[in-house]
Amino acid sequence: MNEQINEPMGTSVGTTGKLRQMILVWDMPVRVFHWLLVICFAGAWLTSESERLQMIHYAFGYTACLLVLIRLVWGVIGTRYARFSQFLKRPKVVLEHFLAMLRGHPHHDVGHNPAGGLVMIALMLLILVIGLTGYLSVKEFLGNFAGHAHEAIASMALAVVILHILAAMAMSVLEKQNLVKSMVDGKKRGMPEQAIRYPQYLLGALIFLGSLYFFYLILSGSLPALTQ
């Protein structure tokens, strides 16, 4: 008779037979960047059609760009799973990951999977281009072209955001773990030796407070070179 083995809650057995458990993967700067970018993108989108809320729109948009610039730096010098070198893969690897997803057998990456990393990079680049075209529109460079480009690229970015959300939901089901929650508490399933050691709380707090201060500077008109 086969004996049923009950795994402890929050753990699972990996392909090597070792016990996987909840480990710290996402540091605080990554989590702060992610959720502040969500707020800024949503805020900029919701205020885009109102002249009365124009300064709020500028504040959300420019703060999103600042966050992306910070994330680009942290992608080079940050903790293990924050680095681009960990999840930016060759096109062949990305294609294999997509095919595995379609078959319902995705690779269980501890950090960003190749497809998720590609979407994240695309979204960050789109946000920077949105910020640039928004600035050119404010300065009335290139006539109406900058304004039209700003709106078109913002729509593209929204499509990428929707794709990202749907993919996160699908991967949560396939991997049997809540990927949204993991971006809140920073934890995913993995081997103990795969965990990052330092959550970087202080740096995360500095990014949060610095972003709020920059948002205030834009909103109050203290940086007229960006808004007039």
The series of mean pLDDT values per 10 residues for the chain, 228 residues long, is 39 56 96 97 95 96 98 96 86 72 68 83 96 95 92 96 88 84 93 94 98 98 94
pLDDT of 25 reads 96
Read off the DSSP letter of residue 48.
Answer: T
Residues 6+ apart with CB under 8 A from 214: 62, 63, 66
CA atoms lying within 13 Å on the CB side of residue 29: 24
| Per-residue pLDDT, 176 | 82
Name the pTM for this structure.
Answer: 0.86
In this prediction, residue 101 carries a pLDDT of 66
pLDDT of residue 173: 83
**Residue 24 in contact with residue 187, Cβ under 8 Å?**
yes
Domain boundaries, given as residue ranges, for the chain: 27-227
Confidence (pLDDT) at 104:
62
Query: What local confidence, expressed as pLDDT, does residue 177 receive?
Result: 84
What pLDDT sits at residue 167? 82
Instruction: Give the whole-angstrom CA distance, residue 197 versus residue 85.
Output: 18
- What pLDDT is stored for residue 114 in this prediction? 78
Please work out, in degrees rounded to the nearest 5, the angle formed at the alpha carbon of residue 126 by the alpha carbons of 62 and 114.
125
Fold entry, domain 27-227:
Fumarate Reductase Cytochrome B subunit (1.20.950)
